[in-house]
Amino acid sequence: MSSAPSRQLSPIRLLQMNAFVSILDRFAMPPLLIAIAADLDVPLSTIVQAAGAYFLAYGLSQPLWGLVSDSLGLVRTMRLALVVAGLAGVAAAFAWTPLVLGIARGLGGAFFGAAYPAGIIYVGDTVPADRRQRELTRLMVGVAVGTALASLGAGVVAQLFTWRAVFVVTGLGALALSVTLRLLDEPPRTRAHRNPMAPFLAVARSRPARLVLGLAFVEGGVLIGVLTLLPSAIEAAGASTALAGGVTAIYGIAVLVFASAVGRLSGRLHPSRLIAVGAAAAIAACLVLSVSRAAPAAAAVTILLGLAWAAMHSSLQTWATDVLPAARATVVSLFAGALFCGSALAAVAVADLADAGRYHFIFLTAGLMAVPLGLVAVWGRARWQRPS
């Protein structure tokens, strides 16, 4: 590293912190859905749609962030976006209507949309392909800790104090991180596009890239969609907000454990096999939830979902960094966009079903969607060869 302070924290540690803050904000809202609906005196479906606004804005902003990071630089893009995202988080804490909350969360999602994907691009630009999945699974340490703390902490804070305090914490965390990331060296910019549409046209012409983006869209609807509704489903089965958050927090621990295992296995197993393991875990998780949302069953489900995320998602994510190197920032940004647009569409589609408590149907449908997702992903990754 070029300066003394930057040697105190390695790039991967700084990127883990970036992942932690981004995921902390993303997963803070699911445990709060029922508490927010009760406080604002609105149906649960209204707040589910407000949560969907975050994921939709996160997804739709991705094409813009891919271009911005190529021209402005990855670290500068992360830092500027975190400032706005942090302010939006604090604003959400003072929202008194669902509309204002939806706008604040949507703005936060749009700008947090630059942070974590830029970290993935950073790894893609600075780590050789043969070590990339291992480093991306190390990045999941931040994902795991952020998920666990958000799931457990948000529920406890909402039950003991107020849901509003949660967004103050995530907002201030983003502002603090924007300062800390000055220690992260900016990698050389190797992608310059005279025509802003050039990388998008390259993606549109690439059949493998289109396949990866389609898989990300469906994966978002299945994995993130299920995780978004999981705390509410547990509460609907009779658990308290704090207990539902605590059970969901097991997911973060599972991601942490399985990410380490997947990182070690990635050098010996073909990615298609890791995808198969993750898809099988996702299908099993959804089927269990379709039968029971009691706390013990939900705890087992969070472990299966953690395995699915570590094995399948990390493999698809690594594939996104490899599939079109000349347009890597655009592909990774579109990958994140497809992932969260899929989850947002799923949230909107099932909002009324969740309000009616029809979780059996929701999770059974997610399980059925996971079957073709796994089959196509395994087939596609097994056939694909890295460009020479």
- Reported as a single tens digit per residue, the pLDDT across 146-170 is 878 887 788 788 888 899 999 999 9
**pLDDT class for 194, splitting at 50, 70, 90?**
low
- Reported as a single tens digit per residue, the pLDDT across 349-360 is 888 888 888 899
d(CA 93, CA 321): 35
- With a pLDDT cut of 90, the percent of the chain lying above it is 40
Straight-line distance from the first to the last Cα atom of the chain, in angstroms, rounded to the nearest whole number: 30
pLDDT (0 to 100) of residue 5: 42
pLDDT (0 to 100) of residue 378: 96
Q: How far is CA 134 from the centre of its chain?
A: 18
pLDDT (0 to 100) of residue 93: 94
What are the domain boundaries of the chain?
8-184+202-383
Q: What is the residue whose two structure tokens read 């990855």?
A: 74
- For residue 4, is pLDDT > 80? no
pLDDT (0 to 100) of residue 193: 56
Angle at 129 between CA 77 and CA 64, to 5 degrees: 25
Instruction: Report the candidate in 171, 198, 369 with the shortest Cα–Cα distance to residue 282.
Output: 369
- For residue 3, is pLDDT > 50? no
CATH topology of domain 8-184+202-383: Growth Hormone; Chain: A; (1.20.1250)
- Reported as a single tens digit per residue, the pLDDT across 280-289 is 999 999 999 9
pLDDT (0 to 100) of residue 388: 56
